[in-house]
Structure 1
Amino acid sequence: MQTGKLLAAKSQQTYVLKLVGDVRLTLCCTLDGLFQQMFGDQEVHSIIIDLTLADNLDSTTLGLLAKIAIKAKSLGLMQPSIISSNPDITYLLNSMGFAQYFLMMEHPATRIEELQEVPQLAGSEAGIHQQVLEAHRTLMSMNEQNKEIFQSVVQALENCPQ
């Protein structure tokens, strides 16, 4: 399984993120930094997340992706899209309630001209802990099933000394 990486491009008013390989919490600082940049760009009106080359997404990554949909809605942006051709990834997303927050597609609707790898950012232990906690809280807020699944994880993270 390929180590996870993140590719990104901006085309006109659309931001495209492509997650590749085994995407885990090691990329949470990178994803969070990219979100800050993306949502700070007043020209961005839509977001596409391409998971066609993703082998695995951990729960922290899922929480960060959910955060995109929630933030986009609060800013009045178009509903974000997720492209997933991997049945296992699609099943995981659907089981977490992502279809309520994202437009789900199997194939890209448009051609992406230029994607560049986003350099991985390092974070402090306390910063990563906070991002993991926020990601799991976001997953819990999506639906009752997720609340039950991740409540013990959130409690453990809240009780963990930093």
Structure 2
Amino acid sequence: MSTGKIQFAEQDGSFVLKFVGEVRLTLCSALDATIEKIFAALNFTAIIIDLTEAQSIDSTTLGLLAKLSILSRQKVGLLPTVVTTNPDMTRLLQSMGFDQVFNIVDRPIPCPECLTDLPPQDQSEEVVRSKVLEAHRILMGLNESNREAFHDLVSALERH
């Protein structure tokens, strides 16, 4: 089982998602539901993704974060901010092209006590597969390196 969690807060027009530990596929349904909630509101001034306590993030989660940024730019013209103090995490984000779709900063966010854990989501294997496929298609669209890295996985998922 994953040792990670995602916490969420809405404060003064800002949505904050904090990733803690190893954030993996098992949290993708809750993350996707929260992304839908954010864009159902459309009354915010900032989206902040805090990765200061994240040890690792899998590619499905990265794809959902890219989706978050794309929707934010399309729907409200806002570039979300990612906070990371870990050089390895920063390199990962840059290698995935996230510096093109996020403001990446190294200052921790205020009010960590305002955050609450996202509730777990039970999803069928088919729903999870569809979210994984969507997330990786989004990552492939960010740059040629991602397209090459995830082509085989996306092809395999599309065959099932």
**TM, length-normalised to structure 2:** 0.95
What is the deviation of 1:76? 2.2
Q: Per-residue CA shift, 1:114-156, capped at 9, x if unaligned?
A: 1111111111111000000000000000011111111111001
Partner SS, residue 111 of structure 1: coil
**Equivalent residues of 1:21, 1:56 under 8 A apart:** yes
Give the partner amino acid of 1:111: P
**Equivalent residues of 2:50, 2:83 under 8 A apart:** yes
CA distance in 2, matches of 1:4, 1:123: 18
What is the deviation of 1:45? 2.7
Show the counterpart of 2:49: 49
Q: Per-residue CA shift, 1:60-93, capped at 9, x if unaligned?
A: 0110011111010110242100001111111110
**Equivalent residues of 2:8, 2:117 under 8 A apart:** yes
The root-mean-square deviation of aligned C-alpha atoms, in Å, is 1.2
Structure 1 residue 102 corresponds to structure 2 residue 84: no
State the percentage of identical aligned residues. 46
Give the partner amino acid of 1:50: D
Show the counterpart of 2:133: 133
Q: Per-residue CA shift, 1:41-64, capped at 9, x if unaligned?
A: 131232000000000000001100
CA distance in 1, matches of 2:77, 2:118: 23
Partner SS, residue 147 of structure 1: helix
Higher helix share: 2
Aligned length: 158
Give unpaired runs (5+ residues) of structure 1: none
Alignment of 1:8-47 (within 5 A): 8-47=8-47
**Equivalent residues of 1:46, 1:77 under 8 A apart:** no
CA distance in 2, matches of 1:18, 1:122: 21
**TM, length-normalised to structure 1:** 0.94
**Equivalent residues of 1:15, 1:38 under 8 A apart:** yes
Runs of 4+ in 1 over 3 A off after TM superposition: none
Of stretches 37-46 and 50-59 in structure 1, the one that deviates more from structure 2 is 37-46
Of stretches 28-37 and 110-119 in structure 1, the one that deviates more from structure 2 is 110-119
CA distance in 2, matches of 1:66, 1:105: 16
CA distance in 2, matches of 1:118, 1:149: 30
CA distance in 2, matches of 1:120, 1:93: 25
**Equivalent residues of 1:79, 1:102 under 8 A apart:** yes
